[in-house]
């Protein structure tokens, strides 16, 4: 009896001490906007010994991928064997039975394959799944947090085309079991939700996991929708999209409804066309051509100042001397994305709708996505800056708080632990 109790105590102590380091209250990934490419970039550490790795943020991306061809040195890489638990977790559908070059991360026998994608180029190719040590900053000033077997995909050097200088991969935060959020939730038993706050200035914004006090920013919620047809570059039939879709039912400008084709606003369950998603890869909100034209015309009419020659990629531009300033940014008509009911809307103020293209000109920061575009409304990075987004996997809902402009809350976000 006594000996078995001792055994139990010894093991409990062992478990407690081995998990103490790995049970932070929160994780915070800093996000900066590259001034020349306007890509959102985060930085974490990986491998043994740890090296800093810069990654482009892909909100709807399936997993973390990095270039393993060049400069990937480590002693802790473990390839995921075909049919292993990690391969099925990742839903990998194919197997690299033999790699003909000398063995190294990205080239190992009997390793399951996934398809890393760079939408900035755009290019997708095959890559292999494996794990390595990952280290990320903890919130609230604690020591960095380490995960010993963090799953990621080995990409190749040519996949880095069009990514910002120094960036060697992409951080996928989408709805899969191997995305960064899912692996953080599992490793630290966090609540299954994460926050995104992109900064509009050169200061750092953040993506955060764990316990946070969101009382500084009251959130409005809308259901996250599933697009049953994958939006990835390479996928198998029957796979759903891993991106975050929401249900925009109509658009109001100055609180007046804009006449739109309702078919385009819904997701077509057969081919996955239509609908509204949020993207950190698109710089500006992109609208299907008929929606773009209707919104732009209504906006110009409501603003009621003369347009000036447009500046690419925008269509509607105005002289800065005709536009005043409010605490919410340029004094222009509000644009409401109306959601599940007429009382629930995402209001876009001048600070998020207008782009200063030069000293004299403001343009409406929306882009024409052409006719027959895959997703009718893609809410881009510029429109979510200084908005707090909370993506809740468990409840499948998006919380948003568009009123942060005045507070510049995303710049060097001052996190407070929930007590």
The answer to the question of residue 98 lying near ligand NAG (CB under 6 A) is yes
Q: Closest by alpha carbon to 208, among 365, 4, 410, 372?
A: 410
Query: Phi/psi of residue 188, each to 5°?
Result: -120, 15
Contact 332, 250 (CB under 8 A): no
String of contacts with ligand NAG for each residue 158-197, x by CB under 6 A: ---xx-----------------------------------
360 sits near ligand NAG (criterion: CB under 6 A): no
DSSP 8-class letter at 15? H
Counting contacts by CB under 6 A, is residue 293 touching ligand NAG? no
Contacting range for ligand NAG; rule: CB under 6 A; set: 149-157, 222-230, 245-253, 268-276: 268-276
In sequence order, the 6+-apart residues with CB closer than 8 A to the CB of 161 are: 118, 120, 121, 123
Omega before 295 cis (within 30°)?
no
Q: Which H/E stretch holds residue 152?
A: strand 145-155
> Which span sits near ligand NAG by CB under 6 A: 201-209, 256-264, 312-320, 350-358?
256-264
- 241 neighbors 60 (Cβ within 8 angstroms): yes
Count of residues of this chain found to bind ligand NAG when the rule CB under 6 A is applied: 12
**Alpha helices (H) along 162-246:** 180-188
User: Which residue, 76 or 254, is less far from ligand NAG as judged by CB?
Assistant: 76
Q: Which stretch binds ligand NAG (CB under 6 A): 24-32, 243-251, 266-274, 296-304?
A: 266-274
What is the rounded distance in angstroms from the CA atom of residue 299 to the CA atom of residue 365?
Answer: 12
Q: How many residues does the chain have?
A: 419
Residue 270 lies near ligand NAG (rule: CB under 6 A): yes
Under the binding rule (CB under 6 A), the answer on residue 48 touching ligand NAG is no
Of the residues 73, 88, 263, 319, which one makes contact with ligand NAG according to CB under 6 A: 263
Tell me the closest approach of the beta carbon of residue 120 to ligand NAG, in angstroms: 7
Closest contact distance (angstroms) between CB of 231 and ligand NAG is 15
Asked if 76 touches ligand NAG (CB under 6 A), the answer is: no
408: contact with ligand NAG by CB under 6 A: no
Q: Considering beta carbons, is residue 100 or 141 the nearer one to ligand NAG?
A: 100
Q: From residue 125, how far is each of 120, 140, 154, 235 by CA, in Å?
A: 14, 38, 10, 11
CA 331 to chain centre: 29
**Contacts to ligand NAG by CB under 6 A:** 98, 103, 109, 121, 161-162, 261, 263-264, 268, 270-271
């Amino acid at each position: 009896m006594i000996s078995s109790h001792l055994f139990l105590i010894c093991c409990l102590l062992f478990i407690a001490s081995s998990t103490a380091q790995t049970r932070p209250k929160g994780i915070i990934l800093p996000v900066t906007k590259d001034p020349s490419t306007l890509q959102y970039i985060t930085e974490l550490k990986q491998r043994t010994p740890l090296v800093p790795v810069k990654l482009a943020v892909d909100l709807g991306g399936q997993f973390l991928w990095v270039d393993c061809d060049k400069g990937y040195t480590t002693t802790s890489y473990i390839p995921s064997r075909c049919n292993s638990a990690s391969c099925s977790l990742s839903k990998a559908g194919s197997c690299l039975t033999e790699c003909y070059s000398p063995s190294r991360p990205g080239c190992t026998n009997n390793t399951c394959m996934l398809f890393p994608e760079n939408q900035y180029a755009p290019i997708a190719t095959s890559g292999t799944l494996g794990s390595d040590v990952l280290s990320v900053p903890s919130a609230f000033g604690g020591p960095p947090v380490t995960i010993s077997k963090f799953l990621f995909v080995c990409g190749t050097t040519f996949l880095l085309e069009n990514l910002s200088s120094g960036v060697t991969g992409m951080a996928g935060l989408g709805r899969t079991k191997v995305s960064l959020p899912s692996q953080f939730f599992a490793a630290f038993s966090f609540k299954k939700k994460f926050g995104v706050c992109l900064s509009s200035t050169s200061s750092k914004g953040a993506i955060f996991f764990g316990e946070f006090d969101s009382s500084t920013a009251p959130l409005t919620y809308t259901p996250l929708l599933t697009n049953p047809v994958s939006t990835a570059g390479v996928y198998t039939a029957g796979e759903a999209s891993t991106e975050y879709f929401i249900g925009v039912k109509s658009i109001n400008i100055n609180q007046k409804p804009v006449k739109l084709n309702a078919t385009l606003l819904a997701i077509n369950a057969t081919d996955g066309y239509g609908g509204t998603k949020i993207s950190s890869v698109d710089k500006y909100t992109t609208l299907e051509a008929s929606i773009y034209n209707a919104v732009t015309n209504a906006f110009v009419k409501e603003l009621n100042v003369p347009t000036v020659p447009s500046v690419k990629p925008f269509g509607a531009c105005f002289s800065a001397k005709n536009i005043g300033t409010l605490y919410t940014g340029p004094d222009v008509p509000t644009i409401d994305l109306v959601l599940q009911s007429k009382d629930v809307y995402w209001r876009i103020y001048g600070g998020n709708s207008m782009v200063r293209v030069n000293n004299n000109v403001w343009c409406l920061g929306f882009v024409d996505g052409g006719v027959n575009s895959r997703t009718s409304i893609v809410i881009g990075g510029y429109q979510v800056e200084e908005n707090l987004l909370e993506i809740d996997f468990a409840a499948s809902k998006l919380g948003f708080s568009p009123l942060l402009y005045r507070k510049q809350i995303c710049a060097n976000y001052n996190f407070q632990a929930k007590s």
